[in-house]
Structure 1
Amino acid sequence: MLRSYRVLAFSLASFAAAGVAFADPPKAPAVAPPKPKQIVLISFDAAREISQWQRSRALAKRTGAHFTYFLSCVFLLSPDTRQQYSGPGKTAGKSNVGFAASKQDVADRLEQVRLAAAEGHDIGSHACGHFDGKAWSKADWLAEFASVRRIFENAYAINGIPEPAGWHDFAHHALVGFRAPYLSTNKALYEALPQAGFQYDASGVSKGPALPPTVKGTMRFALPLVPEGPKAKSVVAMDYNLYVRHSGGTEKPAMAAEFTERAYEAFRAAFDAQYSGKRLPLELGFHFTLMNDGAYWTALERFAGEVCVKADVECISFRDYAARRRADTTKETVGG
């Protein structure tokens, strides 16, 4: 046995003399930190048609998603109560999008709002009369927001509809987010938002998915530009913008299947880029209007049915995302 050790020692010494290097033992591969969940933020503007409330809530139940509904408060006023609203510089009872069809229509919509909120969805504001506020002053914006809150909180009483228990308290605290009609903003809006009690704004447009900054207490979300169509031209990730891109803003129902496929492919490509990349939140915007024979809602349902059900994807509301970001910031501040 001793002779064997001597032979081994001699051999090692010979290798060393010959300049033969021995490799270090292999290191354990570095473990990459787990990726955060992919966030998808889906919202609806105006929130008028009862059937679309029902359809969107059914989609949410199938996929586990939570949506944000930016409600225009004129849809909580009937033809008999429309005089309750007057926009900045406008006479009473005027609106760019009309009013509710009837007292019963208001009651049905309020019921959908209550059901959606109970199911965890976010009810935000899309102002009232869908006027372009780019030239409004801070006082104008504050007046519009005062109308929003007064009509929302008192919708049952204004329309002579029996008010369910708990409505007023819910309505007083529910509206924490805002999206401007036409995505039209100005400096005065952002001065007015925190004073009016809004925590986030979703009126922006960005070059692509991005983390929303918080500026003077208001978190600012932005709909991204996403590649779309055969030439991959950028378009705002909203159904109306696709509608204008595809058919010039006029109905072409015969081409609905083609438009559905194009919209779906744009949504999915934008999602896949983030899912495989930095996982920045992806925002997609819709209206309750069924443009091009519902092409964009059909695309949304296919998209949500594929991605919102993934274990590492969350389709959540603006409100919940903003609350999570604020909580994370608080933890970092206190060193937790």
Structure 2
Amino acid sequence: MIRIPVAFSLALFPALALADPPPAPHPPNGKQLVVISFDGAHDNALWEKSLAMARRTGAHFTYFLSCTFLMTKADGKQTYRPPGQKQGRSNVGFAQTREEIAIRAGHIWQAHLEGHDIGSHACGHFDGKDWSKADWEREFSAFREALAGAWEMAGRPEDEPEGWAGFARQGIKGFRAPYLSVSDGLMPALEAFGFDYDASLVTKGPGWPSFADGLPRFGLPLIPEGPSHRPVIGMDYNLFVRHSMGVENKRDSARFEERTLAAFRDAFRREYEGDRIPLQLGFHFVEMNGGAYWRALDRFLSETCSTRDVACVSYAEALPLIEDARKKADRSAF
């Protein structure tokens, strides 16, 4: 039976308020954007697998990293205290060894060099629905310190790449809240820490980012799925719960893969042949139901990213394209 971290198995985001997609600007450069992201970014084998998938398909990803995977449990007891929690707590655990940290840091740097977007998923994967601005800032500070000190924590400071310090302090520009759960304190804290975008919303369908709160805010969409075409959040965990009630079922893995691929294809086709609203899909560094959702993703990207007028991009790459389209749409209104 698969071990799903408690952070992924607590709920199907029942309290989320669904946002209406903002009005659409003209398609950026006429392209259909496909934006794939991964939450957690911990399992080193899945770092290797996702980077290989990206090279094979030509896609760029956003990796939302949980920072407790850059420290051991012993380190966490000394250095990390999440808001409202005891010292050294984490809902998703810690790195098991210093060697594991070194390998993970190497993958993060490799992904950065290959054009992927490294974002923040905070640290210990706690629900921030009641957090103040100061609470979020405390968590962001912990993330920044953990990333900056990763090679030291790994016991390999001599292996720290040139440019790592600047990347750790200034290169993390995107955020997704654990559980997609936010509070009124989040946006002011994101702006104070210099983030460029938030990706913590859920929308009733594929949508352009909202610019109403200062920073651009992206939302994972509801997409039709299965024989009855019931909407589900376009994320592997939600499909896992839909398909097997959140209980690992390898026997039906191939069937779940086909259902997922069909849902991805239909959601893509609707936008590609329509208004070309960006399609966002989210995943975790856990292969649920025997890897059904990662296999579906690989097949989807293999057939989609090479399609004419399609760009499989990270959030960081999508944002300037969308902002440019928005400005063009504003100018054309006059």
TM-score normalized with structure 1 length: 0.86
Question: Which residue of structure 2 lines up, in the alignment, with residue 92 of structure 1?
Answer: 87
1:280 pairs with one of 277, 293, 302: 277
Output the CA distance in 2 between the equivalents of 1:78 and 1:248. 32
Secondary structure of 1:294 counterpart: helix
Output the CA distance in 1 between the equivalents of 2:325 and 2:291. 38
Bigger radius of gyration among the two: 1
> Which stretches in structure 2 are left out of the alignment for 5+ residues?
1-26
Output the CA distance in 1 between the equivalents of 2:292 and 2:170. 35
| Cα shift readout 1:165-222 (whole Å, capped 9, x = no counterpart) | 2210122222100000011112111221111211101110001011112234311000
> Which stretches in structure 1 are left out of the alignment for 5+ residues?
1-32
1:125 pairs with one of 109, 117, 120: 120
1:304 paired to 2:309: no
Output the amino acid matched with 1:95. S
Q: Larger deviation: 288-297 or 157-166? A: 157-166
2:195 pairs with one of 182, 185, 198: 198
Alignment of 1:160-175 (within 5 A): 160-162=155-157, 163-175=160-172
Distance verdict in 2 for CA 1:130–1:174, change over 3 Å: same
TM-score normalized with structure 2 length: 0.87
Alignment of 1:100-119 (within 5 A): 100-119=95-114
1:77 paired to 2:74: no
2:132 pairs with one of 126, 137, 141: 137
Question: Which residue of structure 2 lines up, in the alignment, with residue 37 of structure 1?
Answer: 31
Output the amino acid matched with 1:90. Q
Output the CA distance in 2 between the equivalents of 1:58 and 1:308. 15
Output the CA distance in 2 between the equivalents of 1:329 and 1:278. 14
Secondary structure of 2:185 counterpart: helix
Output the amino acid matched with 1:104. E
Output the CA distance in 1 between the equivalents of 2:143 and 2:171. 12
Output the CA distance in 2 between the equivalents of 1:239 and 1:324. 26
Output the CA distance in 2 between the equivalents of 1:72 and 1:257. 30
**RMSD between aligned residues:** 1.9
Question: Relative contact order (C-alpha < 8 Å, sep 6+): which is higher?
Answer: 2
Secondary structure of 2:33 counterpart: strand
Output the CA distance in 2 between the equivalents of 1:118 and 1:47. 16
Output the CA distance in 2 between the equivalents of 1:325 and 1:38. 11
The alpha carbon displacement at 1:330 in A equals: 6.3
Q: Larger deviation: 134-143 or 160-169? A: 160-169
Output the amino acid matched with 2:104. R
The alpha carbon displacement at 1:311 in A equals: 2.8
The alpha carbon displacement at 1:329 in A equals: 5.4
Alignment of 1:1-336 (within 5 A): 36-83=30-77, 84-162=79-157, 163-327=160-324
Output the CA distance in 2 between the equivalents of 1:94 and 1:159. 20
Output the amino acid matched with 1:285. G
The alpha carbon displacement at 1:34 in A equals: 11
Secondary structure of 1:202 counterpart: strand
The alpha carbon displacement at 1:295 in A equals: 0.4
